[in-house]
Structure 1
Amino acid sequence: MTGLTVELPEGIERGFSAARQIADAVLLEGYVLYPYRASAAKNRLRWQFGVLVPPEYTRQGGEHSHQRTECVMEARQEDRLAVELRFLRVQRRTVERATAGGGFESVERLELADRVLVEWDEGVEERIELLVPVDELTGAGVQREFRLPGVGGTELVPDEQGGAVGRLVRRREQVDGLVRLRIEELPGPYRAQRLTAEVENVSAWTPRRKAGREEALARSLVSAHLLLGLEHGRFVSATDPPEWARPAVERCRNDRTWPVLAGPDGGYQVMLSSPIILEDHPRIAPESLGTLYDATEIDEILALRTAALTEDEKREARGTDDRAGAVIDLAESMPPEVLERLHGAVRGLREITGAGADSEQPWWDPGVDPDVDPERDQVLVDGRHVGAGSRVLLRPGRRRTDAQDLFLDGRTAVVEAVLHDVDGSVHLAVTVEDDPGADLWRAQGRFRYFQPDEVTPLEEP
């Protein structure tokens, strides 16, 4: 069967439309990175997320050929499930120069007045859409196969006089895949189901000797992810489920996917199964004016650095990819007042009351809060109170990002203060025993910091 498309119910289409903005960001995450040129080192190893390769490449020790999503939903009677599989298909683009005899010859670069054309792998968006009655998903469920045939074409590159100075040759290989859907009724007083959605690349592929990743990518599903929607029912959050659903959610198995709620206005009818970790109801920053193919938090610096590229660098970026050219145009056309909007935004405010409301000290300073005293506060660790003066054994966890702290594993230390941060977390400020510089560190108020679960009390304070 070739690619599948269906007409979605109005309610589901409205939910999918609201979710597609963040889904597009997932689809093109890392597509082309600053400085947006094919010659840049970071753009030579591409397609990092949600890549489903042909099974043969998996057998050779490559990446995976399938992904699996499980989530809990509450479908109503005669409900329907809509599924939209979205991914990029790699389109190989080569460059040819016109010859004196009227033919064309392959070249690595084709210099033009406004751009420099080079070989490049473009990404073409593909969608596979399904609409299935929930009643059909019980038992063995349903399986839908799809085939996207190989296609090719050429595009003449005109010169200033209207003649052909060269041409671009594009080719997409055939890609075959399937989508499996099934549900399992969950026990309990609530009518809930566990939905399993699997996507698999089943493309036949006979690799050449010593075939590498680039050859496999031509028959891969890139940045593959799912939009799931219920016509009348609702999905249960996988990150913050209600208590009645927590055991069922914890038993869900997700391989290379992360399902999050993505419906409009905080709704529950749409689930986005993403190859990158997101929070429920993720949103694109409203200040972001275009896709820079990177985190929206650094739109300002990317816009400034893109505008500062040399003309030759901009020519190469424009010739690398149409999407890269759009980034260059966006950075060049951005007025100062729009750029200023990217300089940070306050998402929420809270009123400061009590002793610190009229203080000249900042609200985050512990000295403002009379309920916090770092030198007297204590925290319970392994059933024992730990505070300033306590001796502890350091056991830094693997989640820490400071690799140097791992060298302190097994050392003893003295707690100097118990600190509470603005997020409600507790940290222990310590000095390491037998450290010849401990007195100097203490005099300067410089300590090492560990969380309570990374220490073991040695004695009562």
Structure 2
Amino acid sequence: MTAPTLTAGRDPRFDHARRVADAVLYEGCALSPCRAWPARDQRHWQFGALVPPACGTRGAEHTYQRTECLLEPRRGATLSLELRFLHAQRGTVQRLAADGQFEATGSLDAGDRVYVPWDEGVEERVELTLPVAELAGDGVSLPFTRPAQQQTETVSVEGRTVGRLVRNRERVDGVLRLSTAELDGPYAVSRLTAVVENTTDWPSDGTAAQHADALPRSLVSAHLLLGLSGGSFLSMTDPPEWARTAAASCHNEHTWPVLAGEHGRADVLLSAPIVLEDHPRIAPDSPGTPHDGTGTDETATPRAAAPNDQHQREARGTDERAGPVRALREGTGTAAQPDTPWWDPAGDTTVDPDHDRIVVDGREVGAGSRVRLRPGRRRTDAQDVFVLGRTARVEAVLHDVDGLVHLAVTVDGDPGADLRREEGRFWYFQPDEVEPLGEP
């Protein structure tokens, strides 16, 4: 295979697809570091990771992803590609000892913030543009490397150095392979194959500890953006009738391609390790970018899941955007003053998620009740398709600061239900999106 040349700059046609990918893949990883709390953050990185070959034999993780899709390129068309993934970066904390040396510590108090060890994601991109004609036959192969790095940052309190932060990034190697094959038939249709593989040479005996250490050497949430300068991609979800057989013959592994441009366009494709519909979009009432720091705003979070003051200080230690969490004064709709005590779920006797009950269609519903899910009365997304009509168990009744009620549920038959309960990762529906079935 020949080696293509990297492109300079970012393709503006991918802007919409990037926003979608940020929302459904990064989930705030790029800008919201993972600390020791809550329990869900301790496993936050395992979504769509391509691990080194030495760790890809356990079955739960993969070393590569394979995309196959159909395209109708015009003569002389070029293919633009952007591989995006998160490179896990581990941060450690060191304090300044009496002898003037820095030593590792599990916590460093710096007044309004507390520094603790954390993991965060740094976005990496591999971009290229080349003629579609060059992909015929053996196609092209592009090896890429992201070198190991270390950065240090001094921590000072009132002008006095008290410690430092050390960020370490491990080396990651990979390869991107592209090829096309023209299909027989009356239409000028080709099958495009794009393989992304982690080739990092890192020895491991497969133990749990070493498997966890493989994460900094993984391509986390790896996905592809593909664009045609002339011609179009065919939908793999709903191909035209004449192309259904060809679409069914495409072999996609650990990823799924969808049309990702604006409605009416078919020149952009997003291939990601999550099932989406064609032309996915961000909800119009989204407050901003999916990882702009609004996740720490209490007005956007059920009260039962809100962080306490210590957690806020730790958040500010690893993310400058994590300022004081905003709360609303009851009945005023205005922002609380900085000296207002943070709401403590354990001390608020007006709410009890485990025992509160509400009335839905004339029947009481609370923790332990069974319901049938009926999402979509106000707005819905692709994920709701998988649970529409399914039965579920109510785990808690949650009240947010706007006075809305949310039912946290686990879906019947979900093999990960116990893990969801342990981590507090539930499906959330409002009362008019469920149909009461009774107690267990």
TM over 0.5: yes
Residue matched to 1:6 = 7
TM superposition shift of 1:318: 2.1
Residue matched to 2:182 = 185
Q: How many residues align?
A: 340
CA contact 1:53–1:216 (8 Å) conserved in 2: yes
TM superposition shift of 1:317: 2.3
Residue matched to 2:131 = 133
For normalisation by structure 2, the TM-score amounts to 0.69
CA contact 1:57–1:216 (8 Å) conserved in 2: yes
CA contact 1:27–1:86 (8 Å) conserved in 2: no
**Alignment map for 1:221-232 (pairs within 5 Å):** 221-232=219-230
More helix by share: 1
TM superposition shift of 1:179: 0.4
Distance 2:60 2:202 in 1: 14
**Alignment map for 1:120-159 (pairs within 5 Å):** 120-159=118-157
CA contact 1:84–1:129 (8 Å) conserved in 2: yes
1:326 to 321, 328, 348: 321
Q: Which runs of 5+ in 1 are unaligned?
A: 339-397, 405-445, 449-461
Q: Please give the secondary structure, in 2, of the residue aligned with 1:39.
A: coil
The answer on 1:168 being equivalent to 2:157 is: no
Distance 1:111 1:181 in 2: 50
User: What amino acid is the match of 1:285?
Assistant: A
2:38 to 37, 40, 46: 40
**Alignment map for 1:68-79 (pairs within 5 Å):** 68-79=66-77
Distance 2:328 2:199 in 1: 44
**Alignment deviations for residues 157-198 of structure 1 (CA, whole Å, 9 cap, x no partner):** 1112x2211101111111110000011111222111111100
Residue matched to 2:81 = 83
CA contact 2:51–2:63 (8 Å) conserved in 1: yes
Distance 1:150 1:58 in 2: 21
CA contact 1:151–1:173 (8 Å) conserved in 2: yes
Distance 1:290 1:229 in 2: 25
Distance 1:3 1:47 in 2: 31
Distance 1:3 1:25 in 2: 30
RMSD between superposed Cα atoms in Å: 3.7
2:273 to 264, 267, 275: 275
**Alignment map for 1:265-414 (pairs within 5 Å):** 265-291=263-289, 302-303=300-301, 305=303, 309-319=307-317, 321-322=318-319, 326=321, 331=326, 401-402=390-391
Distance 1:35 1:82 in 2: 31
CA contact 1:6–1:131 (8 Å) conserved in 2: yes
Distance 1:203 1:26 in 2: 26
CA contact 2:50–2:61 (8 Å) conserved in 1: yes
Q: Please give the secondary structure, in 1, of the residue aligned with 2:214.
A: helix
User: What amino acid is the match of 2:254?
Assistant: R
User: What amino acid is the match of 1:326?
Assistant: R
Q: Please give the secondary structure, in 1, of the residue aligned with 2:204.
A: coil
Distance 1:251 1:233 in 2: 21
Distance 2:82 2:13 in 1: 12
CA contact 1:52–1:65 (8 Å) conserved in 2: yes
CA contact 1:34–1:302 (8 Å) conserved in 2: no
User: What amino acid is the match of 2:184?
Assistant: P
The answer on 1:22 being equivalent to 2:13 is: no
Q: Please give the secondary structure, in 2, of the residue aligned with 1:44.
A: helix
CA contact 1:80–1:131 (8 Å) conserved in 2: yes
User: What amino acid is the match of 2:237?
Assistant: T
What is the percentage of aligned positions where both structures have the same residue?
A: 51
TM superposition shift of 1:19: 1.8
